[in-house]
């Protein structure tokens, strides 16, 4: 009887373990599985705050060790750190945002050690035309990158360089650092060469499948959580039109910027759609990019962003960068002394929001 009871308890334990959600990669590292499950658990607790290029620069400073506009305002770092690898494929030392790749690698390791989560986007050059990610002059780029295409070999070389960077991300114990990887984002628009008017649905899905399979099987990379990230959408059908498959994707996300009168309505609708799909699929849900004119609306953090997102279980919301000495881009995160700084502190202190100290 005792042996039967022990066997039953073991079976229950195995079943409970098997019931836990796991990443799409069957060979995902233990650390990656742990992060995936942690993010899903945190998602029911609150919403993590993220910031693109939080450590490399602010609007008035560049590469000052330890500086962070977010930390200087609220006393804490973001929970999510966003990084960009555009120009890595060209063997440049610096990214398209003028950040040294060796520094990005070091910062990722530093913040991982402190308990933060790192997400990477990749605005890489158009393999067919040689132009930037915003070069939409050809509708043949994606087809050319796939097997049999004239730029497949070149794309493989791009992926090899990406793989070298990813495989260099190890913690002090020698384990690979889990990364949220978000390629081919905002594809529901047509401002990037992979956008909806620049390739067919089948081509876009094939590009995703080829990319993930190459990184997993050819390069043996198993510490990435793949993020599917649209622009603002209106229906579940629109969101899933180019979805490449549950076996490839871990995070369902979207990008949305405050530029219209109906922004809060649109943002709420996107959250409703994506969070519902995430729950149905057992995936993480997130707002992978968001931002507003905080200089024009000092209460944007609480009245717009927080109150709109509050009803939904979104893992995180990441605001874009505070471009250094830019005359073209606004600052998307608060700075010390900014008109929205006081409101951001209220945003920080709200139980709904999670920063680095909250997720350690």
Per-residue pLDDT, 328:
85
**Residues noted as catalytic:** 186, 289
Per-residue pLDDT, 17:
47
Q: Which residue did the predictor score with more confidence, 1 or 238? A: 238
Per-residue pLDDT, 327:
86
Give the chain's domains with CATH numbers.
25-359 (3.20.20.80)
CA separation for the pair 69, 176 (Å, rounded): 28
CA separation for the pair 303, 298 (Å, rounded): 9
**Cβ-proximal residues to 165 (8 Å cutoff; 6+ apart), any chain:** 85, 88, 101, 105
CA separation for the pair 105, 219 (Å, rounded): 19
The pLDDT tens digits for 315-325 are: 999 999 999 99
Where residue 279 falls among pLDDT bands split at 50, 70, 90? very high
The pLDDT tens digits for 31-83 are: 999 999 999 999 999 999 999 999 999 999 999 999 999 999 999 999 999 99
* Residue 240: pLDDT over 90: yes
CA separation for the pair 121, 52 (Å, rounded): 10
Strand ranges inside the chain, DSSP E? 47-52, 80-84, 117-121, 179-182, 224-230, 251-257, 284-291, 316-319, 353-354
Per-residue pLDDT, 109:
99
Per-residue pLDDT, 16:
44
Per-residue pLDDT, 14:
45
Find the mean pLDDT for residues 146-171. 99
Find the mean pLDDT for residues 274-279. 99
Per-residue pLDDT, 7:
46
* Residue 334: pLDDT over 60: yes
* Residue 13: pLDDT over 90: no
* Residue 5: pLDDT over 80: no
* Residue 98: pLDDT over 70: yes
Per-residue pLDDT, 153:
99
Where residue 206 falls among pLDDT bands split at 50, 70, 90? very high
* Residue 313: pLDDT over 50: yes
Please state whether the predicted TM-score (pTM) of the whole model is above 0.85.
yes
Residue 87 bridge partners (DSSP): none
Per-residue pLDDT, 15:
45
Written as six digits, the tokens of 170 are 């190890």
Q: What percent of the chain is predicted at pLDDT more than 90?
A: 92
Find the mean pLDDT for residues 115-144. 99
Average pLDDT, the chain: 95
* Residue 295: pLDDT over 80: yes
The pLDDT tens digits for 125-139 are: 999 999 999 999 999
């Amino acid at each position: 009887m005792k042996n039967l009871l022990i066997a039953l308890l073991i079976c229950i334990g195995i079943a409970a373990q098997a019931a836990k959600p796991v990443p799409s990669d069957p060979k995902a590292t233990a650390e990656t599985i742990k992060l995936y499950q942690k993010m899903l658990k945190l998602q029911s607790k609150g919403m993590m705050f993220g910031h693109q290029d939080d450590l490399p620069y602010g609007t008035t400073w560049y590469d000052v060790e330890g500086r962070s506009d977010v930390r200087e305002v609220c006393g804490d770092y973001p929970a999510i750190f966003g990084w960009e690898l555009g120009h890595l494929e060209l063997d440049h030392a610096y990214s398209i945002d003028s950040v040294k790749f060796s520094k990005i690698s070091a910062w990722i390791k530093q913040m991982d050690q402190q308990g933060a989560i790192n997400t990477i986007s990749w605005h890489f050059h158009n393999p067919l035309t040689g132009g930037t990610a915003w070069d939409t002059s050809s509708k043949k780029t994606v087809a050319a990158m796939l097997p049999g295409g004239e730029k497949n070999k070149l794309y493989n070389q791009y992926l090899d360089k990406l793989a070298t960077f990813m495989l260099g991300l190890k913690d002090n114990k020698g384990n690979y650092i889990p990364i949220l990887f978000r390629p081919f984002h905002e594809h529901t628009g047509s401002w990037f060469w992979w956008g909806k008017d620049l390739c067919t649905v089948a081509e876009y899905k094939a590009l995703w499948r080829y990319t993930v399979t190459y990184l997993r099987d050819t390069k043996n990379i198993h510490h990435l959580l793949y993020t599917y990230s649209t622009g603002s959408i209106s229906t579940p059908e629109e969101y899933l039109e180019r979805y490449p498959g549950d076996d490839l994707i871990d995070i369902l996300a979207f990008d949305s910027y405050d530029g219209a009168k109906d922004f809060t309505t649109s943002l709420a609708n996107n959250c409703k759609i994506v969070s519902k799909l995430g729950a149905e699929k057992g995936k993480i849900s997130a707002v992978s990019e968001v931002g507003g004119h905080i200089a024009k609306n000092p209460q944007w953090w609480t009245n717009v962003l927080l109150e709109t997102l509050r009803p939904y279980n979104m893992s995180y919301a990441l605001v874009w960068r505070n471009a250094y000495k830019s005359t073209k881009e606004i600052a998307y995160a608060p700075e010390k002394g900014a008109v929205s700084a006081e409101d951001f502190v209220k945003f920080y202190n709200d139980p709904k929001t999670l920063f680095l100290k909250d997720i350690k």
